Structure 1
Amino acid sequence: MTLAVRVRDLRPGDLPACAWSGSALHLRHVEGELARAARGEVDYLAVCTAADLPVAIGGIDYQVSEGAGTLWQLAVLPALQSCGLGTLLVRTAERRIRDRGLRRAELAVEEDNPRARALYERLGYIPYGRAPDAWDEEGPDGSIRRHETVCVLLRKPL
């Protein structure tokens, strides 16, 4: 089966169709990032089907690391993982970074996510360190808990 897709900027109206990517708390955070996108601080991309529904999303933050675009919050609809959508999303993000005149892409991946790390390394990202990370997560009952993890830091010259 072939799925026709295109990549475009994520829009606030897309958020209800992105419930697969995380909780309501996560989507409120993404909504805030779209405000930053309107100011040119970040790009937030959506890989969409012919019906214009997002099936992969992710951001590029241009304010994290001098001279680099930092990819973050990359997610693919679980039923469509391993179909090339993550690769398309990352490659498009790299083009956006180059279009801004930057020559490096960076990202962090949780140590306990070897599948994502393998994708990034296959795309040319090289580990250069480790760092702790944390964020709030919303449980099914609406409770908020802190998720703490350690990430592998990767970068790629563009």
Structure 2
Amino acid sequence: MTIDHDPTNPDPDPTTLTMAVSVRDLLPRDLQACSWSGSATHLRHMERELARAAAGEVDYLAVCTPVDLPVAIGGIDYQVSAGAGTLWQLAVLPALQSRGLGTLLVRAAEQRIRSRGLRRAELAVEEDNPRARALYERLGYAAYGRKPDAWDEEGPDGSIRRHETTCVLMRRGL
């Protein structure tokens, strides 16, 4: 991963930072370090998904810095679609987006899917997230449908509200 100098920064000296990252299974001990990815409700959901990972129903991956902090996370569910792994909850620490971490995460997920003998990866991306959709298209995913989706979100004040959206369904042969 390379982080280039921010052109909006008044400091005239360009800086490039190169840092090795690794991909591994997300672990329960990582949850607190993943607070950047969502609310307390979201973290509780992640905890339940880690229990499913322990049972082999899903894989939950983390892209980590050299000090083992997750900066990108995502899951693969093997029970959603026959013959495919379904990618979900893909997220990159906002300050590190557009640095290749999302690509690395998706490619690692695809390798996990192939290692289970499956030859297709699927995902759903919200229609109002063109940046993520563009990434998936660059990685070879093609749209094949749409579906409504909804989940509960926790607001900053602790209130729960229902988020309703429409997702574009995408897939890629592996």
TM-score bucket of the superposed structures, by smaller chain: over 0.9
Instruction: Report the equivalent of 1:112.
Output: 128
1:20 match: secondary structure: helix
1:65 aligns with 2:81: yes
Which whole-Å CA distance do the structure 1 matches of 2:134 and 2:115 have between them?
Answer: 26
TM-score by length of 1: 1.00
Q: Percent identity?
A: 84
Q: Which runs of 4+ in 1 moved over 4 A?
A: none
Instruction: Tell me the distance in 1 between the aligned counterparts of 2:98 and 2:18.
Output: 13
C-alpha separation between the residues in 1 aligned to 2:19 and 2:82? Answer: 37
Q: CA deviation at 1:88?
A: 0.2
Determine which of 39, 46, 64 is the counterpart of 1:30: 46
Residue number among 28, 42, 46 corresponding to 2:62 in the alignment: 46
In the alignment, structure 1 segments of 5+ residues that lack a partner are: none
Name the residue aligned to 2:138: 122
Per-residue deviation, 1:124 = 0.2
How far has the Cα of 1:103 moved from its partner? 0.3
Number of residue-to-residue matches in the alignment = 158
Counterpart of 1:156 in 2: which secondary structure? strand
User: What's the offset of the Cα at 1:119?
Assistant: 0.1
Instruction: Quote the RMSD (CA, aligned, Å).
Output: 0.3
Letter aligned with residue 141 of structure 1: D
Residues 23-67 of structure 1: per-residue CA shift (max 9 Å, x gap): 000000000000000000000000000000000000000000000
Report the 3-state secondary structure (helix = DSSP H, G, I; strand = E; otherwise coil) of the residue aligned with 1:13.
helix
Q: Quote the Cα distance in structure 2 between the aligned partners of 1:14 and 1:157.
A: 31
Greater Rg over alpha carbons, structure: 2
Match of 2:141, as an amino acid?
Y
* Alignment match, 1:77: 93
Q: Which runs of 5+ in 2 are unaligned?
A: 1-16
